[in-house]
């Protein structure tokens, strides 16, 4: 008997949950609701995530025909924006809707009236330009002192560099110059004589540095990078053939 009652309770709990027990709510303009799109996408989202969404007039999360919000789809010249906020579940709805599956769901919906909806893919985030937080002036001074022994670091020391050593202007033409400078201490020939506090291992006892060691801190290196970022790439007149 008791077992039956428990089973019956389970059935009751599973049967159509009333709107108040939905996990989150969303509002949408009348033409969207009437198109049937919301009834089409919400259950599919719930099926995927287990998060139930109720359609409710004054919900905090909303789709609107004007910004702000994330553009999610358009139809007949109107773009619709989702304002989901930052709460976890609404944010998951936004991610789903803007993701591949959500977009495909929107586009497979065939309204009874009017054109179909076209999903809008989120813009790819722009690759942030490398930012060099260091102090370029200090970087120039450090570069002249430490790197200028071998490299032409700017016009002022152009006669002092070692002929076979690439100038900073020449290195600056390489697309990955920033990587190369940030890791110069690990690149030949610098490893044999460069020490960066807390980064480079001690020189091997049997192989002392062949020249006066070059001592820098990571902050110094940041400053040098900030300076190199200001160095105009050398005009070599021909495609680079360096390494």
Positions in the binding site for ligand HEC (CB under 6 A): 146-147, 149-151, 165-166, 171, 180-181, 184, 187-190, 211, 214, 224
Going from the C-alpha of 112 to that of each of 31, 35, 51, 109, 115, the distances in angstroms are 12, 7, 27, 10, 9
CA atoms of 111 and 26, how far apart (whole Å)? 20
Smallest gap from Cβ 59 to ligand HEC, in A, equals: 56
Nearer to ligand HEC, 90 or 148 (CB): 148
Smallest gap from Cβ 184 to ligand HEC, in A, equals: 4
Smallest gap from Cβ 145 to ligand HEC, in A, equals: 9
Residues in the chain: 243
Nearer to ligand HEC, 24 or 224 (CB): 224
Q: CB neighbours of 119 closer than 8 A, spacing ≥ 6?
A: 72, 73, 102, 103, 104, 106, 107
Q: CA 136, 141, 142, 143 torsion: positive or negative? A: positive
Smallest gap from Cβ 73 to ligand HEC, in A, equals: 47
Nearer to ligand HEC, 188 or 241 (CB): 188
CA atoms of 226 and 133, how far apart (whole Å)? 7
Nearer to ligand HEC, 120 or 152 (CB): 152
CA atoms of 168 and 173, how far apart (whole Å)? 9
Nearer to ligand HEC, 52 or 190 (CB): 190
CA atoms of 224 and 140, how far apart (whole Å)? 6
Smallest gap from Cβ 231 to ligand HEC, in A, equals: 11
Smallest gap from Cβ 150 to ligand HEC, in A, equals: 3
Nearer to ligand HEC, 104 or 187 (CB): 187
Cβ atoms of residues 26 and 32 within 8 Å: no
């Amino acid at each position: 008997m008791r077992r039956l009652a428990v089973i019956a309770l389970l059935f009751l709990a599973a049967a159509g949950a009333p709107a108040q027990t939905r996990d989150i709510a969303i509002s949408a303009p009348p033409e969207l609701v009437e198109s049937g799109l919301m009834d089409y996408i919400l259950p599919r989202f719930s099926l995927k995530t287990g998060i139930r969404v109720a359609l409710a007039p004054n919900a905090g999360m909303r789709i609107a025909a004007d910004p702000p919000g994330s553009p999610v789809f358009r139809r007949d010249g109107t773009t619709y924006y989702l304002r989901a906020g930052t709460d976890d579940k609404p944010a998951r709805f936004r991610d789903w809707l803007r993701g591949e599956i959500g977009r495909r769901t929107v586009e497979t919906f065939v309204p009874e009236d009017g054109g179909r909806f076209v999903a809008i893919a989120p813009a790819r985030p722009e690759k942030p330009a490398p930012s060099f937080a260091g102090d370029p002036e200090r970087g120039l001074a450090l570069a002249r002192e430490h790197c200028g022994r071998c490299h032409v670091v700017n016009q002022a020391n152009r006669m002092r560099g070692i002929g076979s050593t690439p100038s900073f202007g020449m290195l600056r033409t390489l697309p990955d110059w920033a990587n190369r400078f940030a890791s110069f201490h690990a690149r030949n020939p610098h490893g044999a004589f460069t020490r960066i506090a807390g980064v480079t291992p001690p020189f091997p006892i049997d192989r002392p540095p062949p020249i006066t060691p070059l001592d820098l801190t990571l902050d110094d290196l940041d400053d040098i990078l900030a300076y190199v970022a200001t160095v105009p790439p050398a005009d070599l007149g021909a495609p680079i053939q360096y390494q």
